[in-house]
Every structure is written in structure tokens, then in C-alpha cells.
Structure 1
Amino acid sequence: MNLYPKIKLSALRDIGWKLWDPIGLGLPGEGWPEHCADEYDRYLLHVVGMLNQGNSPEEAAEYLEWVGSEYMGLGPSNTLARKACVETVQGIIAYLQDLREIPLSVR
């Protein structure tokens, strides 16, 4: 059983582009660019899945850190990259907690 109403991908994008954007495709303060809006979708959705399955926020942040440093090949992580990963996971957790407060509808 799903514990959340439908997750809005646009809300995850707002979080990811504002806080994470490891390859720097967006412009600060302008949100996600339309031509590459879906660039980080699968990573952000994977974090949601990890959290839904009981993984810790630390594990989710480590996953995002791995994505940037290893999968995207950006090299070793640093303090700023780690901070961005942690803040992104915290933002996703806050979003998911807000969704829990919305009543689920039965169809």
C-alpha cells in the first residue's frame, strides 16, 4: 500500500534543481531549465524509493553523492557536494512528510 498521495515530479525537480544540480545545468535562482528538466528525475525518484523502503537519510545522501562522483564521473566528493546531497534528501523528506498530511482518497 502506498503511504503517500501521488508524488508531483515537478516538486521533486524543484528540490533537486535548487539544492543539488551536480553538473550545474541550471542557473541559480531560476529553477530547472525546460530543455533538461528530466535530467535528475531517476535519481530523485530513487531517493524517494529508498526512503519509502526504510533506508536512512544518510544512505540516501550517500547514494546522491555516489551518483555525482562516480556515476556522473565528477570525481571525488567534497564538503559542498556532500552538503548539497544532505540538503536535497532533507528537502525530499520534508516534501514527503507534507504529503502524509494530505488525506488519501479511495477510488
Structure 2
Amino acid sequence: MSSAAQKCHVVQTSFPPDDDTDMESLRFTPDGLSFTMVSSRWRAKVVFAQTYGFRVLDELDMAEHLSGCCLADGWLFEVACGGWKDFECTRPSFTTGRLSWVREYLVIGRDKCASVLTKEEPVVQAEVLSGSFFESDALSELNNRISEVLFYQWDPIGVSDMLNARDEYDIYVPLVVGKLTGGATQQEVAALLDQIASERMGLLADPARTGRTAALACEWFERVCS
């Protein structure tokens, strides 16, 4: 059992807490881990791009790690201490949990709950439904436009004049699109870009550049999705 009482806080999303929230499915691939969460009012996907470990248990089997977390408050929480990571750290061989950058999140539903160890904040976005606005053409156009914005406007490593590097930033397109479809503000998109530049590229933040990029990304989102 964890040596300290669990401390966690709700991760704010565009999908409000509902007592009927359920975990419909999960998908784990080399590109990351994702959960489809549903309620009577919305359907969302939460994506963890870099995952060190996860577990899915029945709510009753995770009771000691759900202290302070309930569906009345939210369905996505970040755990500061006293959670699964601390529990695993009682084992001398568990080295991942001792890395300073490993963060723990809880994804909870009425029946199933998941603990996730990751490096970055997850992306929460509207799940694509059959026949929805985002199903095909609009989502494809948005992805293409954001790819162009990242390459020609953001371009933190300066390769926009190299045609053979056109896909250099495409790996980050889903993260930006996820923020946009999840209702993120221009400031939140800019913060994401600064985080990518600093943590994944080792670059200093450039608020002016990321601000212009985020503004253009939001403008395209409004054009495509309005």
C-alpha cells in the first residue's frame, strides 16, 4: 500500500464530469496509448503519446488509489503522490518511477479505471463519430493546414526551405489538432509548441514565434470547423 495519502487534481478538459462516464475502449500502439471515454453528453479520446506503463482495473480493485477522485469532480486526474507510481516504487527494481520527469494520471469510468505513467500531459479531443463533421474531409483539411503552419510558420529548427524535410513536424500535428478540437485557447496551443521545442528539441522558448503560429493554427481551425 502507498506510504502517503494520495494527492491528485482534476485535469480540466472540454468534456465536463458526468456520473455516467464510462471507459469504452483503449488502444495501445507504438504511437501511444489512447482511451475512448463516453458519457450521455459527449464522446472523447484521451491520448498519451509517450507511455512508460499503464494498468486497467475494476474500480473496486483500485479503491486505495482513487481517494479524492470521483466522477462528480472529473474523469481525468493527475496524481502528485500516493498513487500507483509510489506503490510500485516500494519495489527496489522499479526504476521508471524514480525518474524525475515521470508523471502519473488516472482515467476513471463507472466500472473501469486506468493508471498511466507518462512524460507529457495527455491530449484530449473529440472522438470522431461515423457521419460527424470531423470524420473525413474537414479533419483531413485541418491536419493538412496545421502541417503547413508548423512547417512554414513555426519551423523551430529552420528547415522550411528544404523540400525533402516537408514532413519534419508532422509527428506533432495530432497533438496540435487534439488541442484545437479539445477547445484549447491560443495561449494553450502556444504553450504546447513551447513545450515541444524545449523538451523534445532542446531549444529555448520563442514566445513571439509560437504566438504567431498558435494564432494562425486557431484561425485555420475556425475556418475549417465553423
C-alpha deviation, 1:3, in angstroms: 4.4
C-alpha deviation, 1:86, in angstroms: 1.3
In structure 2, the partner of 1:52 is 181
Decide which moves more: 56-65 or 42-51: 42-51
How far, CA to CA, are the matches of 2:224 and 2:189 in structure 1? 19
**Higher percent of residues as strand:** 2
Q: Is the 8 A contact 1:47 1:89 kept in 2?
A: no
Tell me the TM-score normalised to structure 1 length: 0.71
Q: Is the 8 A contact 2:146 2:177 kept in 1?
A: no
In structure 2, the partner of 1:7 is 140
Q: Is the 8 A contact 1:50 1:60 kept in 2?
A: yes
Residues 32-82 of structure 1 deviation map (CA, whole Å, 9 limit, x = unaligned): x332211111223311111211222211111101111221112x32xxx21
The aligned runs of 1:39-78 (5 Å cut-off) are 39-74=168-203, 76-77=204-205
Runs of 4+ in 1 over 6 A off after TM superposition: none
In structure 1, the partner of 2:28 is none
AA in 2 matched with 1:85: T
In the comparison of the two structures, how many residue pairs are matched? 92
Secondary structure of the structure 2 residue equivalent to 1:23: coil
Q: Mark the structure with the bigger radius of gyration.
A: 2
Aligned: 1:38 with 2:167: yes
How far, CA to CA, are the matches of 1:25 and 1:36 in structure 2? 7
Query: Quick one: structure 1 residues 54 and 10, their matched pair in 2 at CA, closer, same or farther if it must change by over 3 Å?
Result: closer
AA in 1 matched with 2:182: Q
In structure 1, the partner of 2:223 is 98
Query: Quick one: structure 1 residues 93 and 7, their matched pair in 2 at CA, closer, same or farther if it must change by over 3 Å?
Result: farther
AA in 1 matched with 2:196: V
How far, CA to CA, are the matches of 1:55 and 1:72 in structure 2? 23
Percent identity over the alignment is 26
Tell me the TM-score normalised to structure 2 length: 0.37
Q: CA RMSD in A?
A: 1.9
Q: Is the 8 A contact 2:151 2:168 kept in 1?
A: no
**Higher percent of residues as helix:** 1
C-alpha deviation, 1:11, in angstroms: 2.3
How far, CA to CA, are the matches of 2:208 and 2:193 in structure 1? 11
The structure showing larger relative contact order (alpha-carbon pairs under 8 Å, at least 6 residues apart) is 1
Aligned: 1:84 with 2:84: no
